[in-house]
Amino acid sequence: MKILLVSPPQAKGNILWTYSGLGYLASCLEQAGHKIRIIDSLALNYNFKDLKREIKNFNPDVVGITATTPRIYNVCSIARIIKNINPNCLTVLGGPHPTVLPSETLEECSSVDVVVRGEGEITFVELVDYFEKNKDFSDVRGISYQNNGKIIQNPDRPPIKDLDSLPFPAYHLLPLDKYRGQFKYHSLLFTKKNSENTGVISSSRGCPYNCNFCASRAIWGCKVRNRSPKKVVEEFKLLAEKYKIRLIDFIDDTFTIDRKRVAEICKLIKKEKMDISWYCHSRVGIFNKEIASTLKQGGCNRVFIGFESGAQVTLDFLCKDFTVEQAVDTAKIANLYDFEVIGSFVIGVPGETREMMEYTISYAKKMNLSKTVVNLLVPYPGTKIYEYVKKNNLLLTNDWSKFNLFNPVIKIVGVQAFELKWLHNKALVMFRSKYS
């Protein structure tokens, strides 16, 4: 079958997303014998008119669209376009938003036939097989779907135990030349585009931590599943040698959880003697001198760490499970080993005062990190903070497109929304001017 995989056009103020999810789906579908095309609208700078043209030209039997919360309305628009072109085309959604709100998504997007919940590689291939054979979807685990005006919720599919069993993402179908200096917070960190060809690798799935504003556990689960160091470095080498990638981002929620595994990956990377930069995501409390030394020897020169706040009461509310003192020590260790540190902070947390937010901004500045990102707290569906703000009537809007890093959507007692936005803009200007 002909299958089109789409990342929708950018929602205003939304962050850039990574492409590995569609890449994995594409490689699994190719293995099953299907003809695949990927359209990454962000990378290609496509609008709806461009998408409509490409959909008509390719004439797919199935379209899979990845959906984050602030882009869900754009996703619904794409589904309508597809159905207007070909009513018999199967429209499928995956990604964070439909995973945690499958029924609501199907009700809101009437042109969507099926939602794939959680990991999609096995589920989507099976779904396409059932569709091709005109079989009933009732036996496909991990999906929600429309059936004669009713929404059916099939049982969950267990997580993939052996991630090494998955093929590498279908890099040959992706516009790799368009990913330059691109990672999740690229638009907030740099005023000038990075010229390095950039790739991403997911070496594990799952997160054991309890941060109440992160939806990762809703997607991947709380148990960490690792790919083997050998497979990880094979993919690293493939990107470096075949696709001439010069910068790689390990997009694991916390790459440095398993010290022995990190050491083995770094050892293998060093052994290959590849001229390539890479960075990873770590965490206060586990980024110590041993980890720093191991990463450095393996060629890692950047590390992303969520410091979040300069107020202990805010860290506790966010369930970060570390102290301000530990955060300061972590920054010192990273600087000692000459890492480029990308530090993330949030303001607009329930219970904060304006003075606390001002302090977090000044605290972030005093840490003197290589790059600093200050975000507004966003209560994404599927997170504990979302349930908290709903229960306490603290949501300022139900407009999903506003759930991005630039619009206040949480009511902060004693702080007006325009004041919160002003504080955020102040932080953006401060840190952009520092690094431009």
My answer on whether 279 and 338 are in the same domain is yes
My answer on whether 122 and 212 are in the same domain is no
Query: Over the Cα atoms of the chain, what is R_g?
Result: 22
pLDDT tens, N- to C-terminus, the chain (436 residues): 999 999 998 754 444 445 689 999 999 999 999 999 999 998 888 999 999 999 999 999 999 999 999 999 999 999 999 999 999 999 999 999 999 999 999 999 999 999 999 999 999 999 999 999 999 999 999 999 999 889 999 999 999 999 999 999 999 999 888 876 544 444 444 333 455 678 899 999 999 999 999 888 878 888 999 999 999 999 999 999 999 998 899 999 999 999 999 999 999 999 998 888 999 999 999 999 999 999 999 999 999 999 999 999 999 999 999 999 999 999 999 999 999 999 999 999 999 999 999 999 999 999 989 999 999 999 999 999 999 999 999 999 999 999 988 899 999 999 999 999 999 999 999 887 554 4
Establish if 277 belongs to a structural domain. Answer: yes
My answer on whether 140 and 216 are in the same domain is no
User: Which of 6, 41, 43 has the alpha carbon at shortest distance from 25?
Assistant: 6
Count of domains in the chain? Answer: 2
231: enclosing H helix or E strand: helix 229-241
> How far is Cα 282 from Cα 304, in angstroms, rounded to an integer?
6
My answer on whether 216 and 293 are in the same domain is yes
Among all chains, which residue has been given the structure tokens 């376009």? 81
Establish if 159 belongs to a structural domain. Answer: no
Establish if 254 belongs to a structural domain. Answer: yes
CATH number of the domain where residue 345 is located: 3.20.20.70
Among all chains, which residue has been given the structure tokens 């506790």? 316
DSSP state, residue 159? P
Domain boundary among 135, 153, 171: 153
My answer on whether 142 and 188 are in the same domain is no
Cβ within 8 Å of residue 22, ≥6 positions away: 5, 7, 38, 40, 64, 66, 169, 174
My answer on whether 418 and 287 are in the same domain is yes
Among all chains, which residue has been given the structure tokens 């890099």? 171
Establish if 188 belongs to a structural domain. Answer: yes
pLDDT at residue 177, as a whole number: 84
Establish if 311 belongs to a structural domain. Answer: yes
pLDDT at residue 192, as a whole number: 39
My answer on whether 99 and 238 are in the same domain is no
CATH number of the domain where residue 50 is located: 3.40.50.280
> How far is Cα 206 from Cα 393, in angstroms, rounded to an integer?
30
Q: Report residue 235 as tokens.
A: 């993919």
My answer on whether 109 and 238 are in the same domain is no
My answer on whether 148 and 239 are in the same domain is no
Establish if 337 belongs to a structural domain. Answer: yes
pLDDT at residue 9, as a whole number: 85
With 0-12 / 13-18 / 19 or more C-beta atoms within 10 angstroms meaning exposed / middle / buried, residue 168 is middle
For CA atoms 379, 384, 385, 391, the dihedral sign is positive
Establish if 158 belongs to a structural domain. Answer: no
Residues belonging to the chain: 436
Establish if 357 belongs to a structural domain. Answer: yes
Domain boundary among 114, 136, 153: 153
Domain that holds residue 344: 179-435
Cβ atoms within 10 Å, residue 292: 22
My answer on whether 129 and 193 are in the same domain is no
For residues 249 and 199, the answer to whether their CB atoms sit within 8 Å is yes
Domain boundary among 91, 118, 153: 153
pTM for the complete prediction? 0.92
For residues 372 and 431, the answer to whether their CB atoms sit within 8 Å is yes
My answer on whether 11 and 79 are in the same domain is yes
My answer on whether 362 and 262 are in the same domain is yes
Cβ atoms within 10 Å, residue 83: 17
> How far is Cα 398 from Cα 339, in angstroms, rounded to an integer?
40
What is the crossing angle of helices 121-132 and 20-31, to 10°?
40
Q: Taking the C-alpha atoms of 8, 13, 16 and 21 in order, what is their torsion angle to the nearest 10 degrees?
A: -40
